[in-house]
Amino acid sequence: MARSRGLRTKRTVQAAPVKNEINVTPLVDVVLVLLIIFMVVTPMLHRSPPVELPETAHHEKKQDTGEQLIVTIRADGAYVETDRLEGEALKGRLRQELQKAGRPVHVKADRSLRYGDVRKILEDLHESGAPQIGIGTNDQKG
């Protein structure tokens, strides 16, 4: 017994083995949540004020690539993207925006407007050098 009291046994504590792997599961979860949020929010983003478009039976749908210049015509005036402009300010902005060669223009005109109101803006677009002008419509139901 005397021996066991005087001798102390050394015990070493071994560290747990080091893992060389990174757990990416939380990262994947966060990325999927962000993807779902962007998929839901993106269609809600509009680059122009709301307008009630005329309806047509056969129209061609084109995806908004962000390259097109959106010109909206409403009863309260014309908008380039979301900026309301009139007269020379409108013509100047159109010239500035259309300096990029080949940039298409998408016109969204309210269905309640007279053709003469829309035609004036179309003439301004033509004078500003718009190479291609498309007019937005909704698909006719029924």
- pLDDT given at position 36: 93
Residue with tokens 């097109």: 68
Percent of the chain with pLDDT over 70: 89
Token pair 């998929």: residue = 39
Q: Looking at per-residue confidence, does 78 or 10 come out higher?
A: 78
In tens, the pLDDT along 46-101 reads 777 788 888 888 777 777 777 888 899 998 888 988 888 888 888 888 888 888 76
Q: Where are the domains of the chain?
A: 55-139
Residue 3's pLDDT is what? Answer: 54
Half-sphere exposure of 29 (CA within 13 A, CB side): 4
Burial class (CB in 10 A: 0-12, 13-18, 19+), 48: middle
The CATH number of domain 55-139 is 3.30.420.270: yes
CA dist 48 and 81 (Å) reads: 5
C-alpha to C-alpha distance for 104 and 63, rounded to whole angstroms? 13
**In the block, which residue shows the tokens 């599961």?**
25
Element (H, E) at 117: helix 115-127
**Cβ proximity of 138 and 55 under 8 Å:** yes
Looking at per-residue pLDDT, the higher value among 32 and 136 belongs to 32
Tell me the pLDDT tens digit for each residue of 118-128: 999 999 999 88
pLDDT of residue 44: 66
d(CA 60, CA 53): 14
**Which stretch of 27-31, 58-62, 68-72, 106-110 has the lowest confidence by average pLDDT?**
58-62
